[in-house]
Structures are given as C-alpha cells and as structure tokens.
Chains A and B, each alone.
Chain A
Amino acid sequence: MPKTIVQEFTKGLWEELPPFRLVLGLCPVLGVTTTMENGLGMGIATTFVLFGSNFLVSLLRSIIPQKVRIACFIIIIASFVTIVELLMQAYAYPLYLKLGVFIPLIVVNCIVLGRAEAFAYKNKVSYSIADGLGIGIGFTLSLGALGAVRELLGNGSVTVWGDLSYNLSAAFPSYQPFSFMVQAPGAFICLGLMLCIINAVGD
C-alpha cells in the first residue's frame, strides 16, 4: 500500500526516528549534545540540508545519470552544507563556534546521503520533501532530548531558550552536578541507555 505524504512525514518521528531507529549519523549526535541548545542548533542545520538535498535530488532525478548519481548527490549536499556554514557564521556566530568542525561534517552524515539515495532519487518531489522534513525534525528532537538530559545531569541546569532555564540544583539542593555526563564518555553511555529505553518502549 503506498504511503500518504503525511505518513512519509510522520515516519521520521518514530518508526524511522534517527539516530535511535536508524543507527546512522552518530558523530554529531555524540559530539555536539553537551547542551540542549547546541543539539537543537545542529539538528536545525541538518534539517535544512536534508530538506534542500531531498528536494533538489528528487527534482533532478530524471536528469541525473545512474552511474554518477553519488557524485551528483555529494555536490548538491556539499553546496547546501556550505550555505548553512556561511549563514550560520553570519547570523548565529556563537553557535557556529560551539559546533565547530561538525558543521562541515554534515556533508558526510550518513543520514543525508542515505535519504538522497534511498528515498529522494526514487520518489516524487512532494514526498521527498515530507520525508526530508520528517527525518530532519526527528533528528532535531533526538539531539535536543539527548542534549537536555546531558546538560541537566552534567551542569545541574538546562537553558531552554535565552534566559528561560530550569535549574535542577535549585529544585533539589542536594543534587551535585555530574560533570561526567557532559564529557566524552558520558556521551556514549547516555546515548546507549537512551537507546535501551527506546527499545524497551518500542517493544
């Protein structure tokens, strides 16, 4: 049974939720989720690239020759990544500094290339856009959630947006910030345990 556009969109939010369901594109997931804000910023940048590349690949799918399709995908993706890089430097410089090397690395994020190859090259433009946005938003939410957990446990507080924040240490004065969580080993373990919870709930 062919799926509707809405289904293509919503599958990215649970059924194929990256990075938990499709275990792909883990590097930024681990690398930038030290705070919720960084995680969301990275997610939005990736969503933009996914949306753009899915749209363009799908639009050009009849003129891109089969044999050099990967090269074409890479050029399209790399262009969108560079646009994000420049826009971010121009309008969100502090975030750009924090995400650093991970912005150019969106280009090798397996999710983006994977969606171009597995979905956009074979489907209509409207479906591809829905797919790209769905996967992108799912990715953003996952990064935000992981960032929120790590920031909350690691710093004792979460900055949601601007000055709006929740302070765990203030609510529970006996809580000691667990800085392990915001460092490298904590990233792996936190993601592993979250994956375990998602698996348990999913079954």
Chain B
Amino acid sequence: MGYFELIIACIFVNNILLAQFLGNCPFLGTSKKMETAVGMSMAVVFVTVMAGTLTWVIYTYILVNFDLVYLRTIAFIVVIASLVQFVEMFLKKSIPALYAGLGIFLPLITTNCAVMGVCVLNIDKEFTFLQALVASLFYAVGFGLALILFAGLRERTLLARVPKPLQDTSIALVTAGMISLAFFAFQGMV
C-alpha cells in the first residue's frame, strides 16, 4: 500500500473514532465546546505520534527480540503513561504557552483508547517504522478532524429544542451516528 492510500485510509476510511470506535470517551467528553475540542485534538496528535513510534521501536527491538511478546499490553500502557507524564513536565518547564493550552488534556490521554489503539494497530498490521509513523500521525489527524467537526455540530444542538430523555449524551450519540454515516461514504475508496 502506498503512503497516499495509507493517509487517506487513516484519516477517512478507517477513521479511528467513527469507523473503529476508539477514543469515544474524550470524543463525547471534550466536544461540548469548540475550544476544548481543538485543545484535545492537538494533545492527541502530539502524544499519538510519539507513543506510536516509541511503542513500535520497543515492540520490534525489545519485546520480539527477547521473546516477551505477551508483555505487550503492559509495556505499551506503561510507555504511554510515562510518556504523557514526561511530556507534561517538559511542556510545563520549557514551553509554558503550549502547556497552558494542552496541559489539562494531557492526563486524560493516558486512558484515551485511541492512543493505545493506534499503538496496537501499528503492530497488528505489521507496519514498517515509516508506515507506523505516518499511520500514527494521520490516525491522530483523523481523530482531530472528527472531534472538531463533532464539536461544531454539538454547539448547534445546544440551541435546538431536544426532547428531555434525548438530551445531552443521547442526542450526542445520535449526532455522532450521522457524522459516522457521512464518513461511511469513504468506505471502499482505498
């Protein structure tokens, strides 16, 4: 598969949120306001690219070499958790402006299954290092795209009169279904 197809597949066809259902907690949790959605998307792109490549290296050169493949889950989550902590400390010290924007989202990312999911998918699909890098970046971009689109729609539903039982999460899920339907049209493109 060429890199162009891979990029299209990652952003649209296999969109991590709408087609693979990974990272739905932040999808619903941080989409009430456009600002938070943008902040979360940036933080996810940042961490996913780092985690995706780092776990690939660890899996390929350490776990496979020493026959420890069964420790994959535990190794990946520890890497992600410490990476998030490290990024948080680094940003706080060196780039306070960026920290002010992303800071509060970083701890949430440890339990964001999109990040862990991308790491596992990179391994399951037997990507090369460069493919894993590209896939991590564009899966995260796809996450951001879906989240920002969704936040835009959700701000609108606040103004609409929604029946009481449907309010909040319920209508949000139905809205997400509509976006997912729109993304469904990309199926079979790649």
Contact = CB atoms under 8 A, between A and B. Distances in A.
Interface of A: 23-28, 30-31, 70-71, 74-75, 78-79, 81-82, 85-86, 100-101, 104-105, 107-110, 113, 183-189, 191-193, 195-197, 199-200, 203
A122 B112 CA distance: 24
Interface stretch (B1-9, B20-28, B37-45, B95-103): B20-28
Given A25-B25, A192-B171, A196-B165, 13 more contacts: A26-B21, A27-B113, A31-B22, A78-B73, A82-B72, A101-B22, A105-B117, A107-B116, A185-B18, A185-B178, A186-B177, A192-B173, A203-B165
A197 B113 contact: no
A85 B73 contact: yes
A108 B111 contact: yes
B74 A27 contact: no
B96 to A, nearest CB: 24
Contacts of A25: 25
B72 to A, nearest CB: 7
A188 B117 contact: no
Nearest to A84: B73
B174 A78 contact: no
Interface of B: 18-25, 28, 70-74, 76-78, 81, 110-113, 115-117, 120-121, 124, 163-167, 169-174, 176-178, 180-181, 183-184
A200 B165 contact: yes
B117 A196 contact: no
